[in-house]
Amino acid sequence: MTRICTAIEVFDFMGTGAEERTGNTTMIETLIDNVTDSVERAIGRKLSNTSFTIKVHEDRYCSISGPYLFLKGIYHDIVSISSLKENGVALVEDTDFFITIPGVLERIDACWSPDGAGRIEIAGICGLVTRGGTSPNYTYTPYADLKQIVIEATAVKSGLWAKNVSDGDGNDFTILKQNLPKITIDSLKSWRNPMI
């Protein structure tokens, strides 16, 4: 798994000084991993490019309707396919099938095996990422909104995200941020997988 953000990005977001960065980098990296895992479980999707190989059939990772195979769960966010076999026969993207919309594979001039019974094997990359570059050296970039959510949640969990305030009478206070802003929580909820 590739981390969706770096400790430096979290420190920069919080405005953390050099001394605190030195002693807390490992903790922040661990928190990034934990937060990413929590977010992925909450929305039912992968935040970074994730390799997979699965055998699918009706109601196991997909539903099938004639020429359409609707991927479910994390596989709904398929980015690329490196191999697809049906009944042991290799199919070629853009010749035998294509990805019509996210998570939907359409057979060209044919139908998928009804109920599949584990006869369809797919290997590829899934995740909430955009693919750039050219084959075989693709690059994958996480969605900016999700990256920001992980940065903010990591900052909150770290206990290092503080804001200095003044009461106007010359008294200064430091307040630790302990909760995500409502707008961040609402944004996270909007990313829940429609195909769970």
Decide if pLDDT at 137 tops 90: no
Crossing angle (nearest 10°) for helices 7-14 and 18-43: 110
pLDDT at 152: 94
Averaged pLDDT, 98-121: 84
The domain segmentation of the chain, as residue ranges, is: 7-44+143-190, 50-126
Query: Is the previous residue joined to 136 through a cis bond, with omega within 30 degrees of 0?
Result: yes
pLDDT at 161: 86
Crossing angle (nearest 10°) for helices 18-43 and 182-190: 40
Averaged pLDDT, 58-72: 87
Q: Which DSSP letter does residue 60 get? A: B
Q: Which DSSP letter does residue 74 get? A: G
The predicted-structure confidence for 26-57, as pLDDT tens digits, reads as follows: 999 999 999 999 999 999 999 999 999 999 87
73: number of Cβ within 10 Å: 18
Instruction: Report the length, in residues, of the chain.
Output: 196
The predicted-structure confidence for 139-183, as pLDDT tens digits, reads as follows: 899 999 999 999 999 999 998 888 777 777 888 777 778 888 899
The neighbouring-strand residues paired with 86 are 89, 120
Least confident of 47-56, 122-131, 168-177, 186-195: 168-177
Averaged pLDDT, 15-34: 91
Query: Is the previous residue joined to 102 through a cis bond, with omega within 30 degrees of 0?
Result: no
